[in-house]
Amino acid sequence: MDAELKQKWIDALRSGEYVQGKYKLRSASEYWCCLGVLCDVCGKGEWIKGDEVSHSYLYEFNGETSTAYLPTTLGLEVESTVFTDMNDRQEKTFAEIADWIEQNL
């Protein structure tokens, strides 16, 4: 991972600007998965809020529904399942995930 993007991601996770959630990159209630934060700071796309009929107000990023995995259009070399597991199953805080990124990526 690019060092500048890595630092932006770590800083964003520690910023307190994102409220942590599960199972979606970004929810309509403005909860974020750690991977959604990465999408937000990467500068490679945009969020579009779906309408009530098509996506029940889910967000899309680069045309992909906001699921728990990185959109393929980003081309980032990040193993989504590692971060989905930390965020959703292990319930690590953003600060703990940022520490892991610092030490392991």
Give the pLDDT confidence of 81-98 residue by residue, as tens digits.
Answer: 999 999 999 999 999 999
Residue at 97 is within a domain: no
Residue at 99 is within a domain: no
**41-78 pLDDT tens trace:** 999 988 888 765 454 556 888 877 767 788 877 888 88
Give strand pairing partners of 32: 20, 26
Work out how many domains the chain is built from and give that number.
1
Residue at 39 is within a domain: yes
Return the amino acid letter for 97.
I
pTM of the model: 0.90
What pLDDT does 53 receive? 46
Range of the domain at 44: 3-90
Residue at 20 is within a domain: yes
Residue at 9 is within a domain: yes
Can you tell me the distance from the alpha carbon of 56 to that of 14, in angstroms, rounded to the nearest whole number?
29
